[in-house]
Amino acid sequence: MRIKNFGGYSLGEYLGGGLYTKVYKAYSFLAKPTYGNPVAIKVLYLKGNVLERNKLVKQFEREAEIAMNLEHPNIVKVYNFGKFDHHYAMIMEYIDGKNLKEFLYEREKWDLDKILKICYSVGKGLEYIHQHNIVHKDVKPDNILISHDFQKIKITDFGIAKPPLKFWQKDIFPKSGTVTKFGVISYISKEQAEGNATFHSDIYSYGITIDEVITAKLYIEGKEEEDYFKRIDIRAYRKNTGKQRILCEDFPIPHQLKEIIKKATEEEINMRYQSMTQLLNDLEVFLKR
């Protein structure tokens, strides 16, 4: 079922979605569209019993409220949300591109500077999120949108984010996060898996993401045609069996960069970077090398 009209916008092309939400490109039929043209509209599809539905609505409303209060060039803007004809939906900024995971699956390779500029932009968005006392909890390539011209790089999806909680509140999804099929890559830190996600947990996920992007996309002469799975699978096996510390361990990149990734993905919190600002400072020094 499609919403014919939400806030002056009608749904068009289906862009993607999950079990409970679907995202569409949407166009306004108004002379002066409130949020520009086009936008993206995320629609919630309720399933399950009454308790499950209420939980989904609460989660969706919280996601919208969190995102609407964020204003940063590296975060997808959520303009508004509400209910129309019994459907909950939110109006968001439209990015003419695709998510980073889709780019990773393509065979085209990138030079290291391009990879790190993308990762640095993501890091600035995450730093801003943390400055507003929010733990994203699902930092991964799938939740990073990039425009086709690479001018816009933005974090999205605050579906399981943890806002500043009052002492009487609880994290709705304390152990949620993403592990890829067959456990090839886990973006979840040990403490998040135990239900205690913190800013350090996002730093861990961010480090895992940098490692994955470098491994999948780095241009290496003579290995330009290697696909995502050829590059990732064997290295993930080695990492998961303790034979190497990070995926890009054997890649021809500077030792300094490998150490940044290792520090970001330390299993123990006190060994990890203590803030995104600290991590980004080290990354800036490396980029200016």
pLDDT averages per 10-residue partition of the chain, 289 residues: 71 89 91 92 89 88 94 97 86 97 97 97 98 97 97 96 76 84 89 95 98 98 94 96 96 97 98 98 93
Q: Is 169 exposed, middle or buried (0-12, 13-18, 19+ CB in 10 A)?
A: exposed
Supply the pLDDT for residue 287: 92
Of 179, 289, 185, nearest in space to 239 by CA: 185
Supply the pLDDT for residue 267: 97
Amino acid at 129: I
- E strands present in 60-190: 78-84, 87-92, 97-99, 144-147, 153-155
Active-site annotation holder among 111, 113, 138, 211 = 138
Q: Output phi, psi for 131, to 5 deg.
A: -65, -20
C-alpha separations of 109 from 106, 210, 216, 219, 248 in Å: 8, 15, 8, 5, 15
Supply the pLDDT for residue 263: 98
Distance CA 3, CA 9 (A): 9
Q: Please confirm, yes or no, whether 157 is among the known catalytic residues.
A: no
Supply the pLDDT for residue 1: 46
Supply the pLDDT for residue 181: 79
Contact 67, 78 (CB under 8 A): yes
Supply the pLDDT for residue 47: 84
> How are the residues of the chain apportioned to helix, strand and coil, as percentages rounded to the nearest 5?
40, 20, 40
Q: Name all domains of the chain by residue range, CATH numbers in brackets.
A: 9-92 (3.30.200.20), 97-287 (1.10.510.10)
Contact 128, 176 (CB under 8 A): no
Whole-model pTM: value is 0.94
Supply the pLDDT for residue 31: 85
